Amino acid sequence: MRPRFMLTKPSSRAIRGDLFPDTSHSPSLADLVGYERAAEIVDFCFIANPYYPTPEMIESLAEALPTLIKSYPSSNPATAARVLAGVLGVDADDLILGNGATELIVLINEVLVDRIGVPVPTFGEYIEKVRDPAAAEVFALRPDRDYQLDLGEYLEWGRARGLKSLLVINPGNPTGQLHSLDEMVAFLERAADMDLVIVDESFIDFAGDATPSLVPMAHRFSNLLIVRSMSKNYGVPGLRLGFCYSRNRAMLARLRRLLPTWHLNILAEYFLTLLPSSDAAYRASLKQVTSDVGRLSDELSAIPGLFVYPTGSNFVLVRIDGGYTAAQLQASLLDDHLMYVRDCSNKVGLDDCHVRIASQGREPDARLVRAMRELMG
């Protein structure tokens, strides 16, 4: 087995490579190099909107910080839910907010899931946070099909396994595969015999102008539970915000019962109040990200030795066909170019030759492309 982190030459920056085996995610830059030096590195693992929040929102947060950190957040979860419901145009009773989507994934697996089908590669929390490791049954996506999920085939596999719960991530992570709204509705209509269908839409706002979210269709499917991280589209992973949405209020009531008091921090609650007044800026930021990732995908695809998978998100999955493993490429970019990409070797279902690269804006992306051309040349 190859080591998880390999340097092509002795590092002068004392990078904490020993941290890589300790997580199925990417170690944070602060953990790897310290908070001060992290500012020197462009983090392409950071799969979040680089154009949002706006400078004005950051200024509002900074001005409010001295008061906020001396205050308790609301003890009533409905307060924050009403704010977000207004932004989304839904009923607050159909929403549950979480301290990041990961808190909700843990809760869902604990309360609602006995056995669940999970297409892999995928976001690791859906496999790792089940009550019993055997409860997550993996549907391996095929490399000769570019890891594309066939929804009909997946549903039939789930039925053959006797499963009553299925997961779909749309767009996929780390593949970037995007299913259209028509495809998802047809899948859910066929999956009416399932007790639970979790659809993770954490990257759906990056899918283009006509966002193919199931939120407006949720009233048609009592077994549907939509999960979203707010870190990605709103660009605030440090605030820890996520939500789940369903029109099945009995199912939501089972989840709410186990939510701790004060599970949202007050900075996150305050951030929610800034969203309505900045909606136009938010929409503009999504269009910019979509444009940037299209250019990044095209330019990386033109580099010999790289295969770039189609994406409907703000990142691309890249297969390295020559010269480097993912760990070696990650190390060279980090040590020699101060750029950090996601080595996907620890993703169940992927080999050691895939990296995920999230767009960080036009100029940083261009720097990365130049570095990749140099390394692959």
Whether residues 77 and 196 fall in one domain: yes
pLDDT tens track for 17-51: 555 555 566 777 777 778 888 889 999 998 989 99
In a domain, 95, yes or no: yes
> Do 132 and 158 reside in the same domain of the chain?
yes
- Given this model, what pLDDT does residue 34 score? 81
3 pLDDT above the threshold of 70:
no
Q: In total, how many domains does the chain have? A: 2
pLDDT tens for 261-295 read 899 999 999 999 999 999 999 999 999 999 999 99
- Please indicate, yes or no, if residue 66 is contained in any of the structural domains: no
Distance between CA atoms of 109 and 192, rounded to whole angstroms?
20
Do 266 and 312 fall into the same domain? no
233 with 350, same domain: the answer is: no
60 part of a folded domain: no
Q: Which of 234, 262, 277 is the last residue of a domain?
A: 277
Domain of 86, CATH number, reads: 3.40.640.10
Listed residues 250, 277, 304: the one ending a domain: 277
Q: Do 116 and 250 sit in the same domain of this protein?
A: yes
Q: Is residue 33 within 8 Å of residue 41, measured between CB atoms?
A: yes
State which residues form the domain around 339.
Answer: 17-54+280-376
What's the pLDDT tens digit per position in 172-192?
Answer: 999 999 999 999 999 999 999
My answer on whether 156 and 300 are in the same domain is no
Same domain as 249, residue 105: yes
- Degrees (nearest 5) of the Cα angle 169, 122, 265? 75
- Verify that 223 and 79 share a domain, yes or no: yes
Residue 272 in domain: yes
Q: Do residues 284 and 262 both lie within one domain? A: no
Same domain, 130 and 234: yes
